Structure 1
Amino acid sequence: MKIIFFLFLFLSLTQPDAVFGQGNDREWPAYGGDPGGMRHAALSHITPDNVNQLKVAWTYRTGELEYYRNNDAAEKAAFEATPLMVEGVLYLSTPSNRVIALDAVSGAEKWTFDPKVNLKEDYSEITSRGVSTWPGPDVVGNNLERRIYLATIDGRMISLSAATGKPISDFGKKGTIDLRKGIGPISVTSPPAIIGNTLITGTSMGDNQRLNYERGVVRAYDVLTGKLKWSWDPIPRAAGDPARATWIGKKAAQTGAANAWSILSVDPERDLVFIPTTSPSPDYYGGERIGKNEYANSIVALRASTGELVWHFQTVHHDLWDYDNAAQPALINVERNGLKLPAVAVGTKMGHIFILHRETGKPLFRVEERPVPRSEVPGEQAYPTQPFPILPRPVGPQHISVADAWGLTEVEREIAENRIASLRNEGPFTPPSLQGTMVTPSNAGGVHWGGVTYDPERKLLITNINRLVAVVRLIPREKLKEEEGKNEALLRAETGLQEGTPYVLKRDYLFARNESGLQMQTKPPWGTLLAIDMNSGELKWEVPLGFMYDPQTYPEAVNWGSINFGGALTTAGGLTFVAASLDGFFRAFDTETGELLWQNQLPASGQSTPMSYQIDKKQYVVISAGGHGKLGTPLGDYVVAYALE
């Protein structure tokens, strides 16, 4: 046994850090740069010393806004795509799922493909975070043409020729797989993962309107033919599955979702795919699914070739807070006791960052189960404990009190105090209640879908987070109209019908709405960028990210941070690039210190994640800038590339 253990440690120690790119042209062949989603460019042409010379190299407009005429798409649209760059060509997708190929040096359009998605359907959101390409670096001896894979919000998987943008006729049926067949009206908002000749995809769906949502299955297809290879359901249905005992109740088998809507990561050397699963439906009431609900709200490692379960680690037991695993799991190497170990870094909405061994799922930094508050809602049984990482320490606010109330005026601060005092508020994992509960952090993070990036030279894990508090209230179904009649704020709050349960959800946030926009009710900062030293697990620095109030009127607003969506990019040159904030700036920070070194106003806000590549010794940094309908930022249709003059 000891021999096996030391052999395992030796093999782990000798595994190299993941790198991407070949020859003189440094590419960005996957959503996260490499298949494991480190989002790090091993490029050093742009540095802290010269980043202030960064200028716009080219701008491309997708024409997307024309597609929002005569429908309500603009209210739900967000340009969240991260382009790929392989063989001198950029490939990206728009919110309406059009695919565009651009010359990576000039930004000139090479081709476009329109899948003709019906934007009048009732989608939860209208977005696409990007496309995938095959063959990958782990495919040897292939002489077939390069392909681009698009997953759509109307539930299709499409294979395109990278050269022409035309569908590959021998994939599925004339280039398309119907992902809704046998499942129901699911969407896909993230690019599929590709490992060898296997294409793996999760699904997206709304999850607050009813109990019996569609199954959140993860499916794998042959990359050439589109033939189904395997499927895996995050809600255990088989009688022999030991996790099934953690789903209790007559309606437990009707539960849907627990789907993986975010980015999947793959480890080709280990034949593993890492699945970030989400909350079962509905998000805020689990009385029909009492128990731990294993596989939901988990990081699940599957054998990529077969779909066999290898290990799982649950980040939230019996989710009642919409604490989806929204971030792509980042495959990194960390050093513990002098050994380099393969790890999975998991950033969560709760502000918890779990560092797990990639081959076993065991925490590499200590995690402990702690008691959490009980539910007072009839029919509900909140799980008595939750996992808390000791290191890295939770990021973002973990508890808000009346002392944290904030307002621009004394009257506004008092209104915030009274609101906070009226809510159930017992710290992390306080369950939803009939009186109203503060959920800290909110379902928007903590760490959100923007995820984490890892600088392997500096051993720093970088992430941007929200410091936003949600307010949730459950209302007995028969009393909904009566309660809305008493409280005008309930009418404005988001409604989740949660059909199949006794309660309707009302969700809002700790801000007020007035003529000037959002009035935040908790102390700033409301969004930050931070770095964690992966050798020690300790926070190295944290700085405000962006602003939400006009600095000309409120000079201190530059220190207040902004609600943000979209991720960061690190480079070997020692820079961290990030947009994400509501103010519409694209920024570069010193990765070592967090110092802001450069910023540039985008033509529309960049609720997306940037990427970088190098051609002919020139490094480019590219970001999609199209705004966000649900956040209320002005929409645009820009792809902007930056380079040194």
Structure 2
Amino acid sequence: MPTIYIHKLTSRTIITFVSLFSLVVYVGCDNRTSNKDHTTWTHYGGSADQSKYFQASQITKQNVGQMAVAWTYPSGDNFPYFFSPIVVDTTMYVLGKNSSLIAVNVVTGKEIWIHANLTGMTRRGINYWESKDKKDKRLIFTLNNSLQAIDAVTGKSILTFGDSGYVDMRQGLDRDPSSIRRMQAMMPGVIYDDLVIMGSAPGESYFSPPGYVRAYNVVTGKLEWTFHTIPHPGEFGYDTWPKDAYKYVGGVNVWSEISVDPERGIAYLPLGSPTYDYYGGDRKGSNLFGNSLVALDARTGKRLWHFQTVHHDIWDYDLSPAPQLLTVNRNGKNIDAVAIATKHGFVFVFDRVTGEPIFPIDEKPFPKSEMPEEVSWPTQPISSLPSFTRHEVTKETLNPYFPDSIKQQWYKRLESAKSGLYVPPSDQYETIMMPGALGGANFGNTAADPENGIMYIQTQEYASVYKLEKVGPPKIDLSENDVKKVKSFYTGNCQTCHGENMAGGVGPSLVNVGQRIFYSEFKSIVTNGSGQMPGFTHVDEETLKALYRYLGGNPISFNFGRRGGDNTTPEGPVVASGGAKIRPDAKRNAPMLDYPEGVQHPADRYTTDYGLEWPGLLSPPWSSILAYDLNNGTIKWRKPIGEDSLYVQGDKTKGAPNGTQRKGMVVTSTGVVFATAKGGKVYAFDADNGNILWETTLSHETNAQPIMYTLNGKQYLVINATSNFMKDSYDHSKKEGALPRGYVVYSLPDAK
């Protein structure tokens, strides 16, 4: 397919537009769901476009106030906090007891089958695929860095998929696969035709693996294509990095939602930041395709166009919300568009095919970094559309509900700190970024009315406080006696190979190694040995934990890949357990801890934490939902959402601090917008003006995308209500009449 670039890469802006004259050959290919078909919920975001839009007529603005609980499905003791179910015909697929995947009949609520003990499965959802003749129906998901398939009818693993039932996703990432500890994304990916397109979550540390986007055949498990998000030599964008950067830089991954235009065969990738998030002295350049919206040919993985929303990101401003595919009317002309909302509060809108901006974007200058060897990009793209967040914390905008002691503390901090859009992080003073690492808009926080050009955004006013520190021996939170014990053990057993200052020698560097591997793995390596390293079976547990802390770790930190599950068989129609068996590595090598030999790099590295201790730092409202009219580029309405006992109890006009993190929406064709928010809140808003039409409070918190389905003309809203409330004053699970922890299904009452 010919691709014509109509403007070349420059040092000031990294924008490429294309004309796709032969794209029409992809329209009309078999087995593709139309973007206009929003009557089912077989994808994480409803359909492949991730719009969360649902076409049905029963629930309207006039009757939504009658919504009530129709039935519930209890989740069991192992809480699937983040999982969003999907519905196919009369079957709903949920994650439940003992990390089991469960098929439930939506008519009777009866369990059809249980595939037990899928500990380490994708935390947020699964993919569904069926063949044209509907004889082959599959659930595609990741499990402990493997891609697997389960028969959607029987619940059993499909062992003809991949290598005896699994595909090792650690392969092909320019790293030793046996050194990769975490690869799979929290999100399920997306189905297009007979492909499953997968993102990843490889970590955010120095030397994490790169987040290449890959497509696999849903029947065979064969890798069909790879898009190098950190380009290889000879690929477009390679010159926006130092030489061989792909060998040591990580990230630039899609850890959230990939949107697909099935009619055109285009996948839209919201790509994240390069590692390390807050210091880029080892990645001078604009760093394509970091922080970019990239349009790919979904069949081949070929880049069609891209736009970089942040050049050389040092603020962790990933693109995390789903790109929204809408038709907008500009100057009397309908344009099929794609819109992306960002963590830092901007909306960028492009022609879906050519990548041409529909609203102007200006490159504006920003302050230069003063960090050693850091070269911040001199300009950043600013959308001409109104921002939906504030960008600075000042004494005047500080939370007025703070006690005076906290106000005085912050007045003093603000005198020496810097705050403002794109202020570079420093090791000399605090940088107060607004929004911070959690946004603004984050994953799950966008939805759309695709035919009418309206995008809905959930956003929060949540700052981060950063201060860089040189990477070195970790701060040691140990008693004097523990320090002596650790130093004695290290000197006697480790120093010969790993060096006096843990910087490496015969063995690799151990500086902050505790931040790169989990305690269980660390314990196994020390006690059992690894490679040429002998095992130290005599070391006691307390010394091991102290040594792990000394090396920068936290022994009680959790493992992203292996949460929950006690591996006992739950009650019910269990048909299988554990998924396809993954063969263990013959050898597990240490994660990459230093630059490859011969690579030029800064003398020092710097890190900071996420600085998220102050969710209510600014004056309210702290969290909101808003309707963005992309036909004219205006915010149509905005309403606060969520409840929290922090500072202002029960005041609905303030919203909730951190009120939209891990929340979601469902937009209906009848003009009702359902939204979840902190405090177990569920709202139904009038799409035209934002008026609340219905409101309820869950017995347990929700941290998952709500979904919708219809059965015999009756419309149902499903919410995963399995999380814990953070404060006793808002723990609705303890109130009279509380529902059990689980999936809650709402509908209109049957007519009498």
Q: TM-score range by the shorter chain?
A: 0.7 to 0.9
Amino acid at match of 1:142: D
Q: CA deviation at 1:181?
A: 3.5
Q: CA deviation at 1:532?
A: 0.8
CA contact (8 A) 2:102 2:115 kept: yes
> Residues 233 and 580 of structure 1: is their aligned pair in 2 closer, same or farther, counting only changes over 3 Å?
farther
TM-score normalised to the size of structure 2?
0.73
Correspondences of 1:532-547 after superposition (within 5 Å) = 532-547=628-643
Distance 2:168 2:244 in 1: 32
**Residue matched to 2:227:** 232
Q: Residue 431 in 1 paired to residue 424 in 2?
A: yes
CA contact (8 A) 2:245 2:283 kept: yes
Q: Deviations over 1:139-190 (max 9, x none)?
A: 6x434321111123x1121111111111122111333222124542312211
Q: CA deviation at 1:365?
A: 1.1
CA contact (8 A) 1:81 1:94 kept: no
Amino acid at match of 2:194: N
**Residue matched to 2:209:** 214
Distance 2:118 2:66 in 1: 41
Q: Residue 174 in 1 paired to residue 176 in 2?
A: no
Q: Choose 630-639 or 181-190, whichever is displaced more.
A: 630-639
**Residue matched to 2:605:** 502
Distance 2:78 2:629 in 1: 45
**Residue matched to 1:397:** 390
Q: Deviations over 1:278-302 (max 9, x none)?
A: 1111111100001100111111112
Q: Residue 477 in 1 paired to residue 471 in 2?
A: yes
Distance 1:272 1:295 in 2: 17
> Residues 477 and 195 of structure 1: is their aligned pair in 2 closer, same or farther, counting only changes over 3 Å?
closer
> Residues 337 and 557 of structure 1: is their aligned pair in 2 closer, same or farther, counting only changes over 3 Å?
closer
> Residues 537 and 93 of structure 1: is their aligned pair in 2 closer, same or farther, counting only changes over 3 Å?
farther
Q: Residue 639 in 1 paired to residue 743 in 2?
A: yes
CA contact (8 A) 1:100 1:113 kept: yes
Amino acid at match of 1:336: R
**Residue matched to 2:69:** 56
**Residue matched to 1:71:** none
Q: CA deviation at 1:504?
A: 2.8
TM-score normalised to the size of structure 1?
0.85
**Residue matched to 1:101:** 103
CA contact (8 A) 1:94 1:127 kept: no
**Residue matched to 2:667:** 570
Q: Residue 603 in 1 paired to residue 597 in 2?
A: no
CA contact (8 A) 2:34 2:263 kept: no
**Residue matched to 2:90:** 88
Q: Deviations over 1:565-619 (max 9, x none)?
A: 22211111211111132x1121111111111222222121112221111111211
Q: Residue 241 in 1 paired to residue 258 in 2?
A: no
What secondary structure sits across from 1:362 in the alignment? coil
Q: Residue 365 in 1 paired to residue 359 in 2?
A: yes
Q: Deviations over 1:490-526 (max 9, x none)?
A: xxxxx99897552231331362xxxxxx7x3321111
Distance 2:463 2:650 in 1: 24
> Residues 642 and 339 of structure 1: is their aligned pair in 2 closer, same or farther, counting only changes over 3 Å?
same
Distance 1:555 1:222 in 2: 51
Q: Residue 165 in 1 paired to residue 155 in 2?
A: yes
**Residue matched to 1:492:** none
List alignment gaps of at least 5 residues for structure 1.
68-77, 119-125, 486-494, 512-517
Compute the RMSD of aligned alpha carbons.
3.3
Q: Residue 193 in 1 paired to residue 190 in 2?
A: yes
> Residues 617 and 346 of structure 1: is their aligned pair in 2 closer, same or farther, counting only changes over 3 Å?
same
Q: Residue 18 in 1 paired to residue 35 in 2?
A: yes
Q: CA deviation at 1:627?
A: 2.0
> Residues 471 and 35 of structure 1: is their aligned pair in 2 closer, same or farther, counting only changes over 3 Å?
same
Q: CA deviation at 1:395?
A: 0.8
Correspondences of 1:222-621 after superposition (within 5 Å) = 222-238=217-233, 240-248=234-242, 253-391=247-385, 393-406=386-399, 407-425=401-419, 427-434=420-427, 435-456=429-450, 458-478=452-472, 481=475, 501-509=604-612, 511=614, 520-549=616-645, 554-556=649-651, 558-563=653-658, 564-565=660-661, 566-581=663-678, 583-621=679-717
CA contact (8 A) 2:279 2:607 kept: no
CA contact (8 A) 1:607 1:628 kept: no
Distance 2:613 2:168 in 1: 41
CA contact (8 A) 2:150 2:158 kept: yes
**Residue matched to 2:722:** 626
**Residue matched to 1:150:** 141
What secondary structure sits across from 1:130 in the alignment? coil
Q: Choose 342-351 or 476-485, whichever is displaced more.
A: 476-485
Percent of aligned pairs with the same amino acid: 32
> Residues 400 and 164 of structure 1: is their aligned pair in 2 closer, same or farther, counting only changes over 3 Å?
same
> Residues 628 and 264 of structure 1: is their aligned pair in 2 closer, same or farther, counting only changes over 3 Å?
farther
> Residues 96 and 327 of structure 1: is their aligned pair in 2 closer, same or farther, counting only changes over 3 Å?
farther
Q: CA deviation at 1:331?
A: 1.7
Q: CA deviation at 1:451?
A: 2.8
Distance 1:171 1:616 in 2: 35
Distance 1:402 1:165 in 2: 58
Distance 1:305 1:285 in 2: 36
> Residues 285 and 94 of structure 1: is their aligned pair in 2 closer, same or farther, counting only changes over 3 Å?
farther
**Residue matched to 1:488:** none
Q: CA deviation at 1:408?
A: 3.6
Distance 2:315 2:271 in 1: 14
Distance 2:409 2:646 in 1: 22
> Residues 630 and 236 of structure 1: is their aligned pair in 2 closer, same or farther, counting only changes over 3 Å?
farther
What secondary structure sits across from 2:396 in the alignment? helix
Q: CA deviation at 1:463?
A: 1.1
Q: Choose 556-565 or 39-48, whichever is displaced more.
A: 556-565
CA contact (8 A) 2:75 2:95 kept: no
> Residues 226 and 58 of structure 1: is their aligned pair in 2 closer, same or farther, counting only changes over 3 Å?
same
Distance 1:578 1:588 in 2: 7
Q: Residue 36 in 1 paired to residue 49 in 2?
A: yes
> Residues 249 and 197 of structure 1: is their aligned pair in 2 closer, same or farther, counting only changes over 3 Å?
closer
List alignment gaps of at least 5 residues for structure 2.
5-17, 174-179, 480-514, 517-551, 553-591, 595-603, 734-739
Amino acid at match of 1:237: H
Larger radius of gyration: 2
Q: CA deviation at 1:226?
A: 0.7
Amino acid at match of 1:306: T
**Residue matched to 2:547:** none
Amino acid at match of 1:60: Y
Amino acid at match of 1:343: A
Q: CA deviation at 1:432?
A: 0.8
Distance 1:300 1:249 in 2: 23
Q: CA deviation at 1:269?
A: 2.1
